[in-house]
Amino acid sequence: MSAHSPAAAHALPQLPKAPTGIEGLDEITEGGLPLGRPTLICGSAGCGKTLMGIEFLVRGALEFNEPGVLMAFEETAPELAANVTSLGFDLTDLQERKLLRLDHVHVDRSEIEETGEYDLEGLFIRLGYAIDSIGAKRVVLDTIEALFAGFPNQAVLRSEIRRLFHWLKEKGVTAIITAERGDGSLTRQGLEEYVSDCVILLDNRVIDQITTRRLRVVKYRGSTHGTNEYPYLITANGISVLPVTSLRLDHAVSSRVVSTGIPALDDMFGLRGYYEGSSVLVTGTAGTAKTTLAASFADQICRDGGRCIFFAFEESPAQLLRNMASVSINLQAHLDAGRLLIEAARPTLNGLEQHLVTLHRLVKEFRPTAVVIDPITNLITVGNLNEVRSMLTRLIDFLKVNGITALFTALVSGRGLQQEMTDEGVSSLVDTWISVRDLEGVGERNRGLSILKSRGMAHSNQVREFLVTSHGIELLDVVLGPTGIVTGASRLAQQMQERAETLAVQQEAERRDREVERRRRVLEANIANLRTEFESVEEELRQISANEQSRRQALLSGQQRIAAANPPAPGAPTAESGQ
């Protein structure tokens, strides 16, 4: 029972793989091609089969120290070396360093028809010598159709194909065999896909005059793999596969906050800005200052010491610099300091995948802390909605994995609920969604801003009117009228009315203060008069009392003098004796 437990299953050895070094392909195959086994790469003309095989060898030699052998049946060694020079691959140097061996095998069908005999024994000897001469770990055979062109007998053909694949397994080399697409089957013979351990199908299709190359892993014995179709590009740096579902939602997040570039807008967020590494979407109708909001953010990032890439799909760099300078956003200074990079092009210049590859390349070279794309709406001109949504999903994931704060602008049309729905359908993918819209009043159009969502952060629920001034964007205070929030001339009229009412209240208060002051002075005057009258009466009474006291003292003094002048006779009874 324990042998079948999940823990035991995880302990089982996994299929060994050889990393290709091709960007994105190792993610889809979850590590690379099966080590020591043959892989079939099939597709129509012009889809890059040979280039993928050569890059597999070059990356193996340079990045993983695994020498390789390229056996070609159509192009000579000098032709192959010249063809891949534009990709930066120096096959001649690799040959001199014994990391690569090129061998061209010429197969002439007329000679085979004359002798009537043909097998792969000579090929095995020749290929085996090439492998042993440099200790090769990787082999590419390009293409198998040329090798088996002289087999008229299908039974012999199938037998030799099986023998070739078994021989490669016995040599223990990781091999790629290229094959052309057949009618109703992956290859012309219809057998290679069955004997191969891994089959990769390349496709080059044209839809609405736009060419897109796509890759699909048809089968992979002993390993899980991505099963979708993945766009890929042949760029100056080689092949780049851009997987849609290979990125898992397990990237790290930051709790740091970056400013929006507008202090009043910062105040509308609970933490005063966006989370670092998050994605921000600014949507609105034409003329609602979406580009100015984006430029304000880019300006703030650069002023804080960061680096920003600005993708402009509607304006040239010179026009963008001039327009932003009119609102006191000096992007030229950041360009001169090397903190800002403006990439301007019409979306129709390249396909969706080329735009994505360009962004990947610039991010790796410039290493920005923020990316601005203005607007993403124009991408619809080079792809349908599903393709644009897929591309933007991969873009958002890529930027989040790298911890880059992204700001996108998008044009919306219509009114009401339609203004809150982007044609690209990415509003649910972003972390912060800001809506700017027209607020039409009586004979005028004003701009309003609101935050529809901000994941992980409290935010204002107000619709703030804002102005684009010579000093940048200015958010105005919310003014409430009898019927709700008022804007524009109505806001000014409401403010004038409020100021008039405030002035009237102030004047009434001042009038009351003056009346109180007047009454206070009257009362104080009355109090002073009463105090004066009281003091007069008090003085008069005091004077009467003093006079009475003086009269009594004078009377007493006279009586004493009279008494002293008439003493009583001797023996005369006194008052006391008479008692």
What are the structure tokens assigned to 578, written together? 């008479």
Residue 536 domain-assigned (yes or no): no
Same domain for 133 and 203? yes
- Residue 249 has a pLDDT of 65
Residue type for 25, please?
L
- For residue 114, the surrounding DSSP H or E stretch is helix 109-115
Same domain for 173 and 265? no
Residue type for 472, please?
G
Half-sphere exposure of 231 (CA within 13 A, CB side): 21
Q: Flag whether pLDDT at 84 surpasses 70.
A: yes
| Between 355 and 576, the higher pLDDT residue | 355
Half-sphere exposure of 499 (CA within 13 A, CB side): 6
Long-range residue pairs from 84-87, CB within 8 A, at least 24 positions apart, any chain: 84/51, 84/54, 84/58, 86/236, 87/51, 87/55, 87/234, 87/236, 87/237, 87/238
- For residue 450, the surrounding DSSP H or E stretch is strand 445-454
Residue type for 118, please?
Y
Q: Flag whether pLDDT at 12 surpasses 70.
A: no
- Residue 301 has a pLDDT of 95
pLDDT tens column, 475-488: 887 655 555 555 55
Same domain for 186 and 297? no
pTM: 0.65
Residue 543 domain-assigned (yes or no): no
Residue 548 domain-assigned (yes or no): no
- For residue 95, the surrounding DSSP H or E stretch is helix 91-96
Residue 50 domain-assigned (yes or no): yes
Residue 203's SS3 state is strand
| Backbone torsion region of residue 98, taken as left when φ is above 0, otherwise alpha when ψ lies between -120 and 50, otherwise beta | left
- Residue 192 has a pLDDT of 61
Q: What is the CATH number of the domain that holds 237?
A: 3.40.50.300
Percent of all residues in the chain with a pLDDT value above 90, rounded to a whole number: 27
Half-sphere exposure of 472 (CA within 13 A, CB side): 18
Question: pLDDT tier at 561 (50, 70, 90 boundaries)?
Answer: confident
Total domains present in the chain: 3
Least confident of 354-368, 425-439, 442-456, 476-490: 476-490
CA 168/CA 572 separation, integer angstroms: 178
Q: For helices 352-366 and 385-401, what crossing angle results, to 10°?
A: 10
Same domain for 459 and 508? no
Helical residues (DSSP H) of 135-221, grouped into ranges:
144-147, 154-171, 192-195
Residue type for 345, please?
A
- Residue 54 has a pLDDT of 92
CA 555/CA 557 separation, integer angstroms: 5
Residue 506 domain-assigned (yes or no): yes
Same domain for 275 and 350? yes
Same domain for 193 and 333? no
Q: Flag whether pLDDT at 575 surpasses 60.
A: no
Tell how strand 238-241 and strand 230-235 pair up.
antiparallel
CA 428/CA 445 separation, integer angstroms: 29
pLDDT tens column, 116-132: 455 677 788 888 999 99
Same domain for 161 and 232? yes
pLDDT tens column, 51-61: 999 999 999 99
Residue 523's SS3 state is helix
Same domain for 292 and 228? no
Domain that holds residue 493: 479-522
Residue 167 domain-assigned (yes or no): yes
Same domain for 427 and 506? no
Do residues 227 and 43 touch, judged by C-beta distance below 8 A? Answer: no
Other C-beta atoms within 10 Å of 530: how many? 10
Same domain for 179 and 290? no
Residue 312 domain-assigned (yes or no): yes
Average pLDDT over residues 526-548: 87
CA 502/CA 499 separation, integer angstroms: 5
Beta strands in 57-189 (DSSP E): 68-72, 100-104, 138-142, 174-180
Average pLDDT over residues 328-332: 93
Same domain for 37 and 102? yes
CA 29/CA 227 separation, integer angstroms: 9
User: If DSSP states are collapsed to H, E and C, what string results for 248-314?
Assistant: CCCCCCCCCEECCCCHHHHCCECCCCEECCCEEEEEECCCCCHHHHHHHHHHHHHHCCCCEEEEECC
Q: What's the burial of 155, exposed, middle or buried (CB within 10 Å: 0-12/13-18/19+)?
A: exposed
- How many helical (H) and strand (E) elements, i.e. helices and strands, does the chain have? 18, 24
CA 131/CA 135 separation, integer angstroms: 6
Residue 281 domain-assigned (yes or no): yes
CA 502/CA 492 separation, integer angstroms: 15
Same domain for 303 and 156? no
Q: Flag whether pLDDT at 322 surpasses 90.
A: yes
